[in-house]
Amino acid sequence: MTAVASVDQDDYFSLFNVPATYEVDGALLRKHYMSLQQQFHPDRFSGESEQVKRVAVQKIAFINEAYQTLNSQQKRARYLLKRAGVSIDEQRGTAVDLEFLTEQMEWREQLADLTLDEGEGRCETLNHLEDKVKQRLKAINAKLTTLFAADDLSADESIAEYHKLQFMEKLHSEIADLQEECF
């Protein structure tokens, strides 16, 4: 009987042998992910007992969950905050600055107008809005990188930046959905 090798289920970063930082080398992460996929894929254990197969399925599920978490900026930020003992769920009321909220409302209004618009300039306007959103996402990610690198995870500031990231990624996703109609 072949046993399924062990997987470090305590830490996603250790699992993929990458530094526990907000900035992750995507190529290195993917390389280690593919290696783990090959090593633990349940098909490799098809001739084994049901128990061994079940363990392989559990391990590959954990590997997939860990990869999805570290591969997403938002999920990675949430994971790092949780590791640092900062509870996002308990901090739902953390204020996001008024300038950011105003900007969000303006962009949401523009997006709502563009959803209804079928004019020629729609796609160009969507692309312009996407550029603004990408710039804002870049700034938020730079701030989060700085906070995590300095190990400065004061609940108010880190959670406010996390919530900004959530807002912006959702907005970016909605813009991308509308842009599909442009092609």
* 44-81 residue pLDDT tens: 888 888 898 888 899 999 999 999 999 999 999 999 99
Complete domains list, the chain, with CATH: 12-71 (1.10.287.110), 89-182 (1.20.1280)
Q: What local confidence, expressed as pLDDT, does residue 6 receive?
A: 56
Q: What is the pLDDT of residue 94?
A: 53
- 43 in Cβ contact with 56 (< 8 Å): no
User: How many whole angstroms separate alpha carbon 21 and alpha carbon 30?
Assistant: 16
- Write the pLDDT tens digit of every residue in 12-29: 999 999 999 999 999 999
- How far apart CA 164 and CA 88 sit, in angstroms, is 13
Please give the model's pTM, rounded to 2 decimal places: 0.82
What dihedral do alpha carbons 170, 102, 79, 71 form, nearest 10°? 40
